[in-house]
Chains A and B, each alone.
Chain A
């Protein structure tokens, strides 16, 4: 096997599994999808992968809060294996509901003294619209800091909130855990609707762990794989199309290199 291995979680209510698996495989990975019930029975399956991926959806109907119940299962049954995966250099990725799960399971931001949650958009509405994501420090391993990744947002509970926000925010910034912010059409972070669809604190759209290898975001880079995906068909306002694919390739790059290196030996 010379391609990175992605293990993708499936559960009742996961519904962005097809496009996320497609994005990983277009970016060069081998993807295996596994149901949470099976993974609870054999969490050691996580030892076979480079990346653990959690797609979007409404797991368990988002009852009791978005991603809450699956987050409890992940924390209780997979917590140790996930930490082991991270510690041996693997990555954990979540988009939309996957991000909500990573946050509510305590895997993001994973910084002492910072408690985060994702709650209802300020409009109290589900919002599906294209957004511009500014790459911040937490994602700068993968894409140049300050560059723009256009991607659709589609969620109702995407507003990032922090306990003791002013102190926690400083800690987050110092640890380099802010991965993406919502930006206006000049590329500057904004909390203004609709460029920021949810009113998130400091326009935060995604977080990473201090290592950068646990990464989650509300928007869907897996829905920007080609110019056909763009709302303006590549007229320029939303970039050239396919920036999401660039992101997935970059995210896999260390593992791709590793596998190729191994192959060469």
Chain B
């Protein structure tokens, strides 16, 4: 390796606006660093030292710099810049992916500047301080503020930079792990030392299997079992036996919790329009007789805690691959995201050690989803942000994706003899042990120990994979397909070959760099890879198609009829396991779950309260405050099919309920997407929290025009460590609510995902997150012309409240703002709600609804305010007419969060038609749309308060 590398540093011309520099200055000031002057940002590139100066100059001016805005500085190998002490250099650790460097490497060829095959350009960032602040201070504070030290290093500009050397090729030889004669404690320490995350019982099951086989396992066999049996892949807790105790009494025993609750509802319903449930990467429902809709929602929590940007980006990248890998491939056309983070006002000094500030985490995850989703060209449309102190050290990141799939592509089966083909990204050490890592609790040292679990996304590689897969699918070039998610090749090949068997030569996998051990190749979670089963007769065509799209393709092995998984490394056998043990051998311990009866005392609503002021506070509450600033960073209109947008109305400030997208622009059909989540209610009453979340998700899609009797739902359980009975108890109750609600609504669960170790350990104390069930709903909209939005349309129209209001206020936003003690939480009336949703849909279909908004956090008051926000109009509401018991106080009529309610705008001439859909149900005209832009609320005709639409907007946009 030569000394040093050429450096090309680009800086915006003096006087040009430098937003990156400004953001850096703000970040440093926030950390208490006094700065007298600006910071300028620098983009840097390292090029191999053997290039001649002319080539480097040409590259700098023709390729790297923007000649209108930037000036380029060239530093010869070994040279450092003038005033290096006032520069902070940020660059990636060796082995961390650098997609822009890869692009630059390829682009050099366009200038006829060839690099050697093992060489590549590396990028870095730098910040130039324009005053004389102390460099060490700059390094110390700047490093934390401007770099993510998990994946990057920060140095002063006085130090020379060189390209990272390629890693030494390490000899990887077949290795056996002596297991047969180990004691329990020996087994435990092997599991710990190899980061297998297997329990002693699981290790013993493996031990007795190999005792029967009469041989020691290899390292890769243990790794494969650990991946396949991980909580992340196997969902042992939810699919295992459990005894539920309520208030100390055994209430019910389950032999398989999920099967007897969530799945049971689906099995009992089994509608014909569900084409694939719980068996593939995603659930699939019918949109038209020819076209299905695939949907999946994933969690990506622990990686996002360590590297919010990379974690969220690879989270969305992963769930997109789930959709791509459903059946023989679905084409993604929508993405969703939900983030749960700590509250904004926490001081940095109060953060648990090793955690980032919630605002920084939120900015990072939004940027991660933005940069990945936007590059993929998939509109991110639906989602929310939940703020709660319980997520400070363990944020949650949910990412969902929706795709369209032809009916004849829903089923797949690898055939013996088909080639096992990998396409897309190369394999590196990224994410080794990701599946087992995500199954363990975070702790103070996670930040430094688990850098390998963090992955960097490369969306353009994935986009190319998407392009080529859909073409290959339509040409019927493969028989089976799945994504490389958690567990990498191990789980992809293991799942596809479960029914037949598979043989893989690990040395065939293309690597990012030399030196990977064979077991690392097998379990690496490097991104952007898919595995296919390709019949030998189609292989040449498939390879040619990949070449046309510049997608790397390699044959790893083939499927067999041996029902065994066999791996070789340069021809030597390193793994030979029967599929039935791999997939069926995991022992299932009986777990205990404990819960208490939730509070049943009535909510002590205060009598004297400035209700208008409370409304403004509610609009500014972190759960209700506008998320428009997030949504505007996503290209939520790409593909041209977003017909009900997340933010609506002339000014774009009106929050929608569900969103509606057309997958096929030439057709009238679309799908409505919605989500529900209620952790504050779940903390008090887990059944109610889950039922409210499900009601909300379905309500969202119905309000936007979705068809209730064709709605499918998805579950994402994020809980604390469910090996602890007190954590598990609330989950069992939530699963019961899933069963009861799904059956009542006739809305089957079709896919789900759990993440059950969301705890943070500090000073030996473990803190679980609040019980969090995210429910996502999807429903066909058979004619998008009939989809509905929330902003008020025309003065003089009637406002009609649909649904019964109860005074239960436990876990509501008003209760949080008023500091009320725990009290009974809202619950849906599962006998009434389904009929009401059907009636709501019938009224929308009949064309008698001008606008419709569901009542959610902040109740009627916030719903009314939000409908005004997206318009230039206002509303008058008479709350004595709200359908409820007569003794429900005004504050509860306005702020109660009883589920299954809608506020609808109806033309005067359509009111009686509208009401006729709701005979026998709670439904009452309670006001009208006014041209005066304000919300005025009356009780028995006397005005309680009036708030201008302008101040409503201000409060809601203030965050």
Taking Cβ atoms with an 8 Å cutoff, the residues of A that contact B are 10, 12-16, 18-19, 22-23, 35, 37-38, 56-58, 60-65, 68-69, 72-73, 76, 115-117, 119-130, 152, 154, 161-163, 199, 220, 222-223, 225, 228-229, 231-233, 235, 237-238
Contacts of A60 in B (CB 8 A): 103, 107, 460
A122 touches B17 (CB 8 A): yes
Are A61 and B459 CB-contacts (below 8 A) given A76-B110, A120-B19?
Answer: yes
In the assembled complex, the Cα of A10 lies from the Cα of B464 at a distance in Å of: 11
Taking a contact as CB atoms closer than 8 A, the residue among B19, B20, B69, B104 that contacts A63 in the complex is B104
Taking a contact as CB atoms closer than 8 A, the residue among B550, B631, B791 that contacts A37 in the complex is B550
Among B173-181, B216-224, B232-240, B374-382, the one that faces the other chain is B374-382
Contacts of B460 in A (CB 8 A): 12-13, 58, 60-61
In the assembled complex, the Cα of A62 lies from the Cα of B631 at a distance in Å of: 21
In the assembled complex, the Cα of A61 lies from the Cα of B460 at a distance in Å of: 6
Contacts of B106 in A (CB 8 A): 69
A19 touches B640 (CB 8 A): yes
A72 touches B63 (CB 8 A): yes
In the assembled complex, the Cα of A223 lies from the Cα of B550 at a distance in Å of: 29
Query: Which residue of chain B lies nearest to A244 when distances are taken between CB atoms in the complex?
Result: B640
B67 touches A128 (CB 8 A): no
Are A15 and B376 CB-contacts (below 8 A) given A38-B548, A117-B69, A120-B19?
Answer: yes
Query: Which residue of chain A lies nearest to B631 when distances are taken between CB atoms in the complex?
Result: A128
Query: Which residue of chain A lies nearest to B870 when distances are taken between CB atoms in the complex?
Result: A232
Are A72 and B107 CB-contacts (below 8 A) given A61-B375, A64-B63?
Answer: yes
Query: Which residue of chain B lies nearest to A197 when distances are taken between CB atoms in the complex?
Result: B632
Sampled A-B contacts (16; CB under 8 Å)? A12-B460, A15-B377, A18-B640, A61-B100, A61-B458, A63-B100, A64-B103, A122-B17, A124-B19, A126-B633, A129-B652, A220-B637, A222-B640, A228-B784, A231-B648, A238-B650
Taking a contact as CB atoms closer than 8 A, the residue among A61, A122, A161 that contacts B69 in the complex is A161
A237 touches B650 (CB 8 A): yes
Taking a contact as CB atoms closer than 8 A, the residue among B370, B643, B870 that contacts A126 in the complex is B370
A117 touches B20 (CB 8 A): no
Taking a contact as CB atoms closer than 8 A, the residue among A14, A22, A125 that contacts B665 in the complex is A22
In the assembled complex, the Cα of A31 lies from the Cα of B545 at a distance in Å of: 21
How many Å from the CB of B703 to the closest CB on chain A? 15
A126 touches B635 (CB 8 A): yes
Contacts of B459 in A (CB 8 A): 58, 61
A233 touches B69 (CB 8 A): no
In the assembled complex, the Cα of A13 lies from the Cα of B458 at a distance in Å of: 11
Within 8 A of A (CB), among B391-422: none
Q: Is B638 an interface residue (CB 8 A)?
A: yes
Are A232 and B633 CB-contacts (below 8 A) given A35-B548, A72-B110?
Answer: no
In the assembled complex, the Cα of A14 lies from the Cα of B107 at a distance in Å of: 17
B640 touches A57 (CB 8 A): no
Query: Which residue of chain B lies nearest to A227 when distances are taken between CB atoms in the complex?
Result: B785
In the assembled complex, the Cα of A119 lies from the Cα of B110 at a distance in Å of: 22
B650 touches A122 (CB 8 A): no
Are A58 and B375 CB-contacts (below 8 A) given A16-B638, A127-B632, A235-B793?
Answer: yes
Within 8 A of A (CB), among B773-792: 784-785, 787, 789, 791
Q: Is B25 an interface residue (CB 8 A)?
A: no
B374 touches A231 (CB 8 A): no
Contacts of B632 in A (CB 8 A): 125, 127-129
How many Å from the CB of B497 to the closest CB on chain A? 31
Contacts of B22 in A (CB 8 A): 124
Contacts of B100 in A (CB 8 A): 61, 63-64
A130 touches B652 (CB 8 A): yes
In the assembled complex, the Cα of A2 lies from the Cα of B184 at a distance in Å of: 80
Interface size on B, residues (CB 8 A): 61
A154 touches B635 (CB 8 A): yes
A232 touches B650 (CB 8 A): yes
In the assembled complex, the Cα of A120 lies from the Cα of B23 at a distance in Å of: 14
Going nearest first, the 4 A-B pairs with the smallest beta carbon separation are A15-B377, A19-B640, A124-B19, A63-B103
Q: Is B383 an interface residue (CB 8 A)?
A: no
Residue among B100, B103, B636 with max Cβ neighbours from chain A (10 Å)? B103
Contacts of B62 in A (CB 8 A): 72
Q: Is B549 an interface residue (CB 8 A)?
A: yes
A231 touches B652 (CB 8 A): yes
Q: Is B639 an interface residue (CB 8 A)?
A: yes
In the assembled complex, the Cα of A91 lies from the Cα of B463 at a distance in Å of: 29
In the assembled complex, the Cα of A64 lies from the Cα of B8 at a distance in Å of: 12
Contacts of A22 in B (CB 8 A): 640, 665-666
In the assembled complex, the Cα of A232 lies from the Cα of B467 at a distance in Å of: 33
Q: Is B765 an interface residue (CB 8 A)?
A: no
Q: A60-B460, A64-B100, A125-B632 known; 11 other A-B pairs, CB under 8 Å?
A: A13-B463, A15-B375, A18-B639, A18-B665, A19-B640, A56-B638, A124-B20, A128-B635, A129-B632, A222-B640, A231-B648
Query: Which residue of chain B lies nearest to A57 when distances are taken between CB atoms in the complex?
Result: B377
Q: Is B752 an interface residue (CB 8 A)?
A: no
Contacts of A232 in B (CB 8 A): 648-650, 791, 870
How many Å from the CB of A144 to the closest CB on chain B? 23
B68 touches A162 (CB 8 A): yes
Taking a contact as CB atoms closer than 8 A, the residue among A12, A64, A121 that contacts B464 in the complex is A12
B63 touches A61 (CB 8 A): no
Are A154 and B64 CB-contacts (below 8 A) given A61-B99, A117-B69, A231-B650?
Answer: no
How many Å from the CB of A230 to the closest CB on chain B? 9
Within 8 A of A (CB), among B34-75: 62-64, 66-69
Q: Is B645 an interface residue (CB 8 A)?
A: yes
Contacts of A12 in B (CB 8 A): 460, 463-464, 467, 549-550
In the assembled complex, the Cα of A66 lies from the Cα of B637 at a distance in Å of: 19
How many Å from the CB of B323 to the closest CB on chain A? 15
Query: Which residue of chain A lies nearest to B793 when distances are taken between CB atoms in the complex?
Result: A235
How many Å from the CB of B619 to the closest CB on chain A? 21
Contacts of B377 in A (CB 8 A): 14-16, 57-58
B68 touches A117 (CB 8 A): yes
B66 touches A65 (CB 8 A): yes
How many Å from the CB of A99 to the closest CB on chain B? 15
In the assembled complex, the Cα of A119 lies from the Cα of B68 at a distance in Å of: 9
In the assembled complex, the Cα of A37 lies from the Cα of B468 at a distance in Å of: 14
In the assembled complex, the Cα of A209 lies from the Cα of B870 at a distance in Å of: 39
Q: Is B634 an interface residue (CB 8 A)?
A: yes
Query: Which residue of chain A lies nearest to B333 when distances are taken between CB atoms in the complex?
Result: A18
- A-facing mask of B440-464, CB < 8 A → 1, else 0? 0000000000000000001110011
Within 8 A of A (CB), among B615-670: 631-641, 643, 645, 647-650, 652, 665-666
How many Å from the CB of B537 to the closest CB on chain A? 25
Contacts of B463 in A (CB 8 A): 12-13, 15
Contacts of A116 in B (CB 8 A): 68
In the assembled complex, the Cα of A115 lies from the Cα of B458 at a distance in Å of: 32
Contacts of A56 in B (CB 8 A): 638
Taking a contact as CB atoms closer than 8 A, the residue among B376, B631, B634, B645 that contacts A231 in the complex is B645
In the assembled complex, the Cα of A125 lies from the Cα of B634 at a distance in Å of: 10
In the assembled complex, the Cα of A13 lies from the Cα of B377 at a distance in Å of: 8
How many Å from the CB of A21 to the closest CB on chain B? 9
Contacts of B647 in A (CB 8 A): 231
B643 touches A163 (CB 8 A): no
Contacts of A117 in B (CB 8 A): 66-69
B19 touches A122 (CB 8 A): yes
Contacts of B69 in A (CB 8 A): 117, 119, 161
How many Å from the CB of B324 to the closest CB on chain A? 15
Contacts of A238 in B (CB 8 A): 650
A128 touches B633 (CB 8 A): yes
How many Å from the CB of A229 to the closest CB on chain B? 7
In the assembled complex, the Cα of A238 lies from the Cα of B648 at a distance in Å of: 12
Contacts of B645 in A (CB 8 A): 231
In the assembled complex, the Cα of A10 lies from the Cα of B549 at a distance in Å of: 10
In the assembled complex, the Cα of A231 lies from the Cα of B644 at a distance in Å of: 8
Are A69 and B110 CB-contacts (below 8 A) given A126-B633, A127-B633, A128-B633?
Answer: yes
Query: Which residue of chain B lies nearest to A63 when distances are taken between CB atoms in the complex?
Result: B103
How many Å from the CB of B670 to the closest CB on chain A? 9
- A-facing mask of B210-249, CB < 8 A → 1, else 0? 0000000000000000000000000000000000000000
